[in-house]
Amino acid sequence: MARVTVEDCIVKIPNRFKLVMMASQRARNISAGSQLNVERDNDKNPVVALREIAENQVDHEELEESLIKGLQKFVEMDDPEEADLDLIDAQPDLEGESAKNYRGEDDPEVDTGGSDSISEVSMDMGGSKYEDITPEDLEDNKGA
C-alpha cells in the first residue's frame, strides 16, 4: 500500500482504527463481488478499498452499517427436548437433597452435635475437660 493512499484516507477518516476496519470491510465487499468505484490498476482489494475511501467514491455510513452487520452474531437457540426438560426439572431436587444430606438434615443417623459443646463431647470420649500441665510434668516426660 502506498503511503500517499493512507495519508489521503486519514483526511477523510481521522481515526486510524476506524479507517482500517472500514477499508477491510470494503475489501471484503469487493472480494464478494461488489462493483468497483475506481480503476483497479493491477492493485489488490485492500489498496482499491483505500483508494475508494480517499477519493470519496464510497458511502461511509453505508460501509459502517455493513461493517456492524458483519460483526454482529446471531445464535439461534434450539428448543430443549423433553428429556432435557425432565433433567432440568429434576436438577433442583437433586441439589436440595444432596445439600440436606451433606448438612445432616432429615437424617436421624447423622448427629450434628446439637447443644453438645466440644468439651462435653471430649468428656464423653474419655478425656477430662481441661488438663493443667505443669513444668514438672514436662520434665518427667523428657526422661521417658
Q: Tens place of pLDDT for every residue, the chain, 144 residues?
A: 556 678 888 998 999 999 999 999 999 999 999 999 999 888 999 999 999 999 999 998 999 998 898 888 876 776 656 666 666 666 665 556 655 665 555 555 555 555 555 555 555 555 555 677 777 877 777 765
- Residues 54/12, Cβ–Cβ less than 8 Å: yes
Angle between helices 16-31 and 3-12 (to 10 degrees): 110
Check if the beta carbon of residue 53 is closer than 8 Å to that of residue 23: yes
123, part of any domain: no
Is 98 a member of any domain?
no
Per the structure, the count of domains in the chain is 1
Give a yes or no: residue 131 inside a domain.
no
- Pairwise CA distance, residues 132 & 110, whole Å: 33
**Residue 87 within a domain:** no
User: What CATH number is given to the structural domain containing 41?
Assistant: 3.90.940.10
Q: Which residue has the cell 468505484?
A: 37
Number of alpha carbons in the 13 Å side-chain half-sphere of residue 23: 26
Domain range enclosing 55: 3-71
